[in-house]
């Protein structure tokens, strides 16, 4: 069966003609009373109930390391292989992500119908289920380009106050979505640990820099925005169409070496301080799944309204997405003692972000830059308005001047070797089934052989 045929099945709207793609909306697939014949999907605490249905890529744990990746959907503690279930005739994630919005919605309807209690597909699809514990997850898609934005206004203000107390937020921030181009080759999936980065640093009282391992390694709590439908080269994406180019969201940790960053970032911005590792969760939660958790976008009183190319009626009425976010740290000593971890921070994407998904897409393409399927846009650090809601150690410890107390008597100003950081995300709303993002976790390993200084 082709992916178009599979996605059209049982969806009366799939073949209709629209002046523009059908925007994701709340429908019967979000019914909080829906239950699945996959029993674990009905657990109250699962991230992956039938109302979610996120996409990822995997191999079976007993497959060879070079075995082709399969496309799966998370349902409870299981993975439904889409090609094995006959829902698509390929395992090309880019092809699936680039589907028009109406066809993506139809595929979601087909999945929801086949996985709900009483479905006639249960006997056939059961053979396509795999326990998540027996899967090896890969990056959710092949990532072409990676752009990191700076949409978290509380983070931008807090960082600015450390270095420019009299002028923490630069004047362009409220007018233009700030971003820089990152390094896609070092984005890894959750569970891929990485060595401490090395580079140049210079002490305040030194006359020349030295080369060696970073001493001020930090995490950054972010979301990853994955591009689905590509845009045409030379053609800006209008705000009214911008979200139709977003396939979905995942958790994202953009690790940062703050001491390397302080020395290298002027005049062109971060380089080795950011390009050594970023970590993304393995499941993309689709825009369709997020429909019940939208909220209006509004600027604080007294702030300028966005320029017209960054404004739309849809963005004003439901441009923001409610995602509750958490950061957990587990040290090597905590791991040895059987302590799961210490909660460092809680925040919410909608409260943290000054710019929306649509505004990121519209601005990125405003000069004709082509967006391609699989491109990743990082939101930037999503700190809440209160100091304890900070999304980085740079903020939580005031640049290391106020170390955190951890269970067992340890302290942290910045990350130590053996520390792991876990990000979690969840969407909740009265009258809706809560959904989650899984976890985004990686551990800091000791630096590898250091080049001569």
Q: Token pair 């309807």 is at which residue? A: 109
Q: Which residues pair with 423 in a beta bridge?
A: 327, 440
Look at residue 230 and give its three-state secondary structure: coil
Contacts for 64 with CB less than 8 Å, ≥ 6 apart: none
Q: Token pair for residue 173?
A: 């921030």
Q: Any idea what DSSP says for residue 421?
A: E
Rounded to the nearest 10°, the torsion over CA 401, 342, 330, 214 is -20
Q: How far apart are CA 189 and CA 410, in angstroms?
A: 28
Report how far Cα 316 is from the mean position of its chain's Cα atoms.
23
Q: How far apart are CA 119 and CA 130, in angstroms?
A: 19
Taking phi first (over 0 means left), then psi (-120 to 50 degrees means alpha), and beta for anything else, what does residue 418 get?
Answer: left
Residues serving a catalytic function are: 155
Question: Which residue, 128, 120, 141, is CA-closest to 55?
Answer: 141
Contacts for 152 with CB less than 8 Å, ≥ 6 apart: 352, 353, 354, 379, 380, 381, 382, 383, 391
CA torsion sign for 229, 230, 235, 237 is: positive
């Amino acid at each position: 069966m082709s992916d178009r045929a599979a996605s059209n099945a049982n969806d009366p709207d799939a073949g209709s003609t629209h002046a523009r793609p059908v925007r994701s909306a709340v429908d019967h697939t979000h019914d909080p009373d829906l239950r699945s014949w996959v029993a674990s999907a009905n657990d109250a605490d699962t991230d992956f109930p039938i109302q979610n249905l996120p996409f990822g890529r995997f191999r079976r744990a007993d497959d060879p390391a070079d075995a082709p990746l399969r496309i799966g959907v998370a349902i409870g503690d299981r993975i439904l292989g889409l090609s094995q279930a006959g829902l698509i005739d390929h395992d090309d994630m880019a092809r699936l992500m680039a589907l028009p919005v109406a066809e993506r919605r139809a595929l979601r309807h087909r999945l929801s119908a086949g996985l709900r209690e009483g479905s006639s597909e249960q006997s056939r699809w059961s053979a396509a289920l795999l326990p998540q514990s027996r899967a090896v997850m890969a990056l959710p898609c092949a990532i072409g380009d990676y752009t990191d934005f700076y949409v978290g206004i509380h983070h931008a203000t807090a960082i600015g106050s450390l270095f420019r107390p009299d002028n923490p937020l630069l004047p362009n921030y409220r007018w233009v979505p700030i971003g820089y181009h990152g390094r896609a080759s070092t984005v890894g999936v959750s569970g891929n640990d990485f060595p401490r980065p090395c580079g140049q640093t210079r002490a305040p009282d030194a006359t020349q820099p030295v080369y060696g391992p970073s001493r001020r390694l930090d995490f950054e709590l972010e979301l990853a925005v994955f591009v689905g439908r590509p845009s045409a080269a030379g053609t800006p994406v209008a705000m009214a169409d911008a979200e139709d180019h977003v396939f979905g969201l995942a958790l994202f940790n953009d690790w940062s070496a703050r001491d390397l960053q302080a020395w290298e970032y002027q005049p062109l911005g971060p380089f080795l301080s950011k390009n050594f590792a970023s970590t993304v969760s393995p499941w993309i939660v689709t825009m369709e799944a997020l429909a019940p958790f939208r909220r209006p976008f509004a600027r604080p009183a007294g702030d300028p309204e966005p320029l017209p190319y960054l404004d739309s009626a849809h963005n004003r009425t439901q441009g923001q997405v409610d995602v509750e976010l958490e950061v957990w740290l587990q040290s090597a000593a905590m791991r040895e003692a059987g302590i799961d971890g210490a909660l460092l921070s809680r925040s919410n994407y909608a409260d943290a972000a000054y710019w929306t998904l649509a505004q990121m897409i519209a601005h990125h393409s405003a000069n004709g830059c082509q967006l391609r399927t699989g491109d990743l846009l990082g939101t930037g650090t999503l700190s809440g308005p209160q100091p304890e809601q900070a999304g980085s150690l740079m903020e939580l410890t005031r640049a290391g001047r106020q170390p955190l107390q951890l269970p067992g008597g340890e302290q942290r100003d910045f990350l130590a070797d053996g520390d792991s950081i876990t990000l979690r995300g969840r969407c909740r709303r009265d009258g809706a089934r809560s959904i989650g993002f899984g976890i985004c976790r990686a551990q800091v390993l000791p630096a590898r052989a250091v080049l001569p200084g």
